[in-house]
Structure 1
Amino acid sequence: MTPQSGTELGTALSHLVLAVVSLHAAVCTAQASRGAAAGFLLQALAAATMLAPGLGTDEDRLTGAWVATVISLPLLAFDFHWVNGDRSSANLMLAGGMVLAVAGDHLGAEGRSVAGQAVVLVVSVTILIVAVFTANTYGMWGGMMLGAAGLLSRLETDRLLLLPKEDICRWALAAGSWAYCRALHTHHLHWE
């Protein structure tokens, strides 16, 4: 096995894990939280399309991943804020994500990169704040993992701990998605 094929295998595995975790989270939250389920489903679809070699160009897949980021993460934040009673922040997060998704063609590649990273950081910080005030441990872990993915994506290096930076970000995003799913489940059990 050459180093290049090992890297490709690791990248495919990180996409697969993110897709499976996100799909599982979508199924688990579908009854109680349709917005979060839609967000998880968008994440799963974006990760799965990166695995399929014949589905459009690389640019199409990257654009799809960007749109999934600026819509799916605000959907997760919307639902998390909504179920915790913060309606104005929920609506603001969702509206901001929709505006970014529509304005994406006007931003250029660098603008989309900055906007996507900003969405990740804003969503993670707001969910972390709500989780701290509501003592939702899974929400805190989800916020930290998503924040870590956002901060790691800003680093100038291409590799971290001998792995491609993007793979580590996907692993952190998968861990954060699992924690958000648990956080929503815990919240719904608490209020039933």
Structure 2
Amino acid sequence: MVPKPGGEWSSVLSHLALGVVSLHAAVSSVQSSRGAAAGFLLQALAAATTLAPGLGTHEDCLAGAWVATVIGLPLLAFDFHWVNGDRSSANLLLGGGMVLAVAGDHLGPEGCSVAGQAVLLVVAVTILIVAVFTGNTYGMWGGAMLGAAGLLSRLEEDRLLLLPKEDICRWALAAGSWAYSWALHTQRLQWE
């Protein structure tokens, strides 16, 4: 169910945190990385459509979250790989995300869930690998938090630490996005 203002506060706060962090990251990275800025903006828009009353149906919100996952997250990783000279991985991640976005209608709900979690984990692992080899501490934290969100989403339990599992995942995504935006900034400073 889509959270409504005045509804469960943990859901509203987690959507708000993810939206604000993603929007700030998009604005701060637009000059140096248009791809990452677009990825952050997709995350912010997906969080906003879930919060805003009358902006869309539950299916529209799920579609927005799907696009933010399969296109937005590969866009984030694209720039990280591209700047480090790993253009084949950058193109492969982005191309795979585009194919999944188009094929989403044919996968069904369970297939979309598995594909979204796989994209999240692949992006997290590739960011983590590049960050380890380049010594980018923020990238390591960002990759670890994105990976934690992906792994937490695979758990069977509906609640973790007295909060809904989806809220914990959004908090982890927000922390990962914050760290990843700093990783991009640090990476750009190293290359200048």
TM-score where L is the length of structure 2: 0.96
Are residue 143 (structure 1) and residue 170 (structure 2) matched? Answer: no
Structure 1's consecutive aligned runs of 4 or more residues displaced over 2 angstroms after TM superposition are none
- Residue deviations 1:117-149, cap 9 Å, x none? 000000000110000000000000000000000
**Retained in 1: the 8 A contact 2:14–2:171?**
yes
Distance 1:6 1:50, change over 3 A: closer
Q: 1:161 to 1:6 in 2, by over 3 A?
A: farther
- Matched residue type, 1:25: A
In the alignment, which residue of structure 1 is the partner of 2:17? 17
Identity, in percent, stands at: 84
Alignment gaps of 5+ in structure 2: none
- Listed as ranges, the gaps of 5+ residues in structure 1 are none
Aligned residue number for residue 54 of structure 2: 54
| Deviation of the 1:84 alpha carbon | 1.1
User: 1:120 matched to which residue of 2?
Assistant: 120
Q: Distance in 2 between matches of 1:135 and 1:104?
A: 36
- Shift in Å at residue 7 of structure 1? 6.9
Deviation at 1:60, TM superposition (A): 1.4
| Contact 1:75/1:94 (8 A) holds in 2 | yes
Partner of 1:32, secondary structure, is coil
**SS at 1:62 equivalent:** helix
| CA apart distance, 1:53 | 2.2
* 1:7/1:163 contact within 8 Å kept: no
> Counterpart of 1:182?
182
Distance 1:173 1:80 in 2: 17
Equivalent residue of 2:54, what SS? coil
Residue identity matched to 1:99: V
> Which residue of 2 is the match for residue 102 of structure 1?
102
Q: 3-state DSSP class of the match of 2:55?
A: coil
Paired letter, 1:160: L
Tell me if the contact between 2:71 and 2:97 (Cα under 8 Å) persists in the aligned partners: yes
- In 1, Cα distance between equivalents of 2:49 and 2:56: 9
Which residue of the partner structure matches residue 80 of structure 1? Answer: 80
String of CA shifts for 1:2-27, please: whole Å, max 9, x gaps. Answer: xxx99711100100010000000000
Q: For the Cα contact (< 8 Å) 1:33–1:79, is it kept in 2?
A: yes
SS of the residue corresponding to residue 23 of structure 1 reads helix
Aligned to 1:160: 160
Contact 2:49 2:56 in 1 (8 A): no
Q: Partners of 2:78 and 2:188 in 1: how far apart?
A: 15
SS class of match (1:56): coil
In structure 1, what is the equivalent of residue 63 of structure 2? Answer: 63
Local SS of the residue matching 1:107: helix
Name the TM-score, length of structure 1 as normaliser.
Answer: 0.96
Alignment-derived partner of residue 39 in structure 1: 39
Paired residue total: 188
| 1:18-47 Cα shifts (integer Å, max 9, x gaps) | 000000000010000000000000000000
Amino acid at match of 1:72: G
Superposition RMSD in Å: 1.2
- CA apart distance, 1:57: 1.3
Does the Cα contact within 8 Å between 1:7 and 1:164 map onto a contact in 2?
no
- The one-letter amino acid paired with 1:95 is G
Looking at structure 1, the residues matched to 168 and 96 of structure 2 have their Cα atoms a distance apart, in angstroms, of 27
Q: Take 1:154 and 1:6, find their aligned partners in 2: how far apart are those partners? A: 28
